Structure 1
Amino acid sequence: MRAILTIVGIVLLVGGLWVVFGHASYTQTDTLVQLGSAKLTATHDKAIPQWMGISGIVVGALLALGGLMSKR
């Protein structure tokens, strides 16, 4: 159990750092006009919010420390 907590904590910590330092984004595609089978779309790159990265760092650090400090 403590190995799982540690691994999940480290993954969340690394993911949170990746988001905070600005390398995380996702692509959103919107349909602007559709006429029959033809459609006009627009693609936007959006950044993942900063608060999600910070919360990932905090939760990941707590899980990793909980896994390392466990007495079993």
Structure 2
Amino acid sequence: MRAGLIVIGIVLLAGGIWVTAGHGSYQQTDTVAKLGSAQISATHEKAIPQWVGIAGIVIGGVLAIGGFVSKR
């Protein structure tokens, strides 16, 4: 349990730093036009909101510290 908390905490912490630094993004595909069975779609690259990165840093830090401090 202790090692699991530490590993999950470090992964969340690293992911949070990555997103906060501006490197996190995802793709969203929208249908622009549809005529019968033909379809035109566009793919947009969107950044992951910065608050998600900050939340990952905070939660990851709490989990990692909790894993280091736990007495079991």
| TM-score between both structures, scaled by the size of structure 2 | 0.97
Name 1:6's counterpart in structure 2.
6
Q: Tell me the distance in 1 between the aligned counterparts of 2:36 and 2:29.
A: 19
SS of residue in 2 equivalent to 1:22: coil
Q: Tell me the distance in 1 between the aligned counterparts of 2:20 and 2:29.
A: 24
Q: Which consecutive unaligned segments of at least 5 residues does structure 1 have?
A: none
Name 2:58's counterpart in structure 1.
58
Q: Which amino acid aligns with 1:20?
A: T
How big is each residue's C-alpha offset from its partner over 1:28-53, in whole Å with a ceiling of 9 and x where there is no partner? 00001111121111111000000000
Q: Which amino acid aligns with 1:13?
A: L
Q: Tell me the distance in 1 between the aligned counterparts of 2:48 and 2:23.
A: 9
| TM-score between both structures, scaled by the size of structure 1 | 0.97
Q: Tell me the distance in 2 between the aligned counterparts of 1:42 and 1:14.
A: 31
Q: Tell me the distance in 2 between the aligned counterparts of 1:59 and 1:16.
A: 9
User: Superposition pairs for residues 1-72 of structure 1, below 5 Å?
Assistant: 1-72=1-72
Q: Which consecutive unaligned segments of at least 5 residues does structure 2 have?
A: none
Over aligned residues, Cα RMSD in angstroms? Answer: 0.6
Identity within the alignment, %? 65
